[in-house]
Amino acid sequence: MLYNAAFAIEEGRLQKEDVERALQNLMTVLFLLGFFDGATLKGPFGRLGSQDVCTKEHHGLALKGIVFLKNDEKFLPLNKNDVPSLAIIGSSAKSQLLGGYLGRTHWFDNYYFYTEKPIYHFGHGLSYTYYTYKLFSAPSRLSLLRFIKSGAGKRELY
């Protein structure tokens, strides 16, 4: 999605203002979490890892949160007897954290199939490309945001 934002704006399918608003929201959250305070490992969220988010409890909550909209034709769930093969391609193919912050994926993680048996192995007709994309210029100031440290590292948003 990130790679196609500039193209979508050029085609008029996405407004630059929407991207800027999304970036402002993202930066607000990062500021409030103390991401730019220097030694982030010393902050309250600095040592979060898979042991904190990959628990059975979280997995169960994620399964409960899955919603399929308009499945009138009963297309989903797919029946492996009706669909001989299905490719899921791209950096999000096996991503548990689709919200990002994962960086680039390894080329090996880009090609998955529902049977988890690759039809094409890397080097046999498939290539991995590092995409280049341009970021929009950030606003010169976040006029509505003012961060004040208060108490035990808490932040308030004005």
- pLDDT, one tens digit per residue, over 50-68 is 777 778 888 888 788 877 6
Count of all residues that appear for the chain in the document: 158
Instruction: Specify if 150 maps to a domain.
Output: yes
Instruction: Specify if 54 maps to a domain.
Output: no
Structural domain total, the chain: 1
pTM of the model: 0.32
Closest of 107, 101, 123, 149 to residue 2, by C-alpha: 101
Phi (first) and psi of residue 157, to 5 degrees: -105, 125
The whole domain housing 147 covers 2-36+86-157
Instruction: Specify if 11 maps to a domain.
Output: yes
Instruction: Specify if 66 maps to a domain.
Output: no
Instruction: List the chain residues with pLDDT less than 70.
Output: 1-3, 68-69, 87-158
